[in-house]
Chain A
């Protein structure tokens, strides 16, 4: 799959997961790479960008095993971005499905 396309989709996946609860980086990487084939290291630049754009904030939280972990939390702006992305995504998928399933009008 096209790398650019994947990055946009990854952003949607991350924001979508963060709507549910806060995650630390490793968890996000672990869950996403379970379903989507990616270089795991590319999630961190993405998370950094989301933070710079104000879509997420981070905080450190102690863990039982080892040093504190960096958690990511979605912001109101992030929620808005999610709404837009998910609408675009659904629109896109519907369009592709219509064509792929041959349901289009000639």
Chain B
């Protein structure tokens, strides 16, 4: 059994991470609801009971707000925050989704590594070949310098291409995650 004051206070506590302006706007709705309910002869406890557990209501606002934030500013941190708050609401069927999600992230990290390796290898091949004549160590690999430099350029280009593809896939993953979360929240698709 909660009074109006307790209910509002409880909501405030659960919503404390929202921007203050948004929080006040939300609280206004519930203040109004209590006030109209009271004027219709209901008791504070009755109204609080009909409104339902403030914790669950707060979760709905929190998820919604985090998804908006992740959408406007898709940083890894914001996306993860949205994923975790959705999990708290129990709407993210994460056991099914978490496996592939982690696998995709792992794959992406691997691809980034590969492309950086290619670029580094390619550049080393180019400069290595160019500086061989000036080096005191006369190391040759049994290939002439033109082959070696072309190989270096090719490898670097491949690495850059891979890297661009990685960035593209990262963006796709961000977008996919956000729309998946939104779909979970909205359910009836628009």
Contact = CB atoms under 8 A, between A and B. Distances in A.
25 contacts: A4-B91, A24-B32, A24-B36, A26-B32, A29-B33, A33-B50, A40-B33, A40-B50, A41-B30, A41-B50, A41-B57, A42-B52, A42-B56, A45-B57, A45-B60, A48-B26, A48-B29, A48-B64, A52-B68, A65-B39, A66-B35, A66-B39, A69-B32, A69-B36, A70-B32
A22 interface: no
Interface in B168-190: 184, 186-188, 190
A64 to B, nearest CB: 10
Contacts of B186: 7-8
B127 interface: no
Contacts of B54: 41
Contacts of B57: 39, 41-42, 44-45
A84 B64 contact: no
Interface residues of A, number: 31
A45 B32 contact: no
B52 A44 contact: no
B39 A45 contact: no
Given A29-B33, A65-B39, A81-B190, A41 B52 contact: yes
A88 B189 CA distance: 10
Contacts, number: 78
Contacts of A7: 186-188
A14 to B, nearest CB: 13
Contacts of B52: 39-42
A27 to B, nearest CB: 9
Nearest to B31: A67
A4 B51 contact: no
A70 B29 contact: yes
Contacts of B37: 26
B28 interface: yes
B56 A25 contact: no
A3 B41 CA distance: 30
Contacts of B24: none
A40 B33 CA distance: 10
A74 B161 CA distance: 48
B112 interface: no
Interface in B20-54: 26, 28-30, 32-33, 35-37, 39, 50-54
Q: Which of A40, A66, A70 has the most CB of B within 10 A?
A: A40
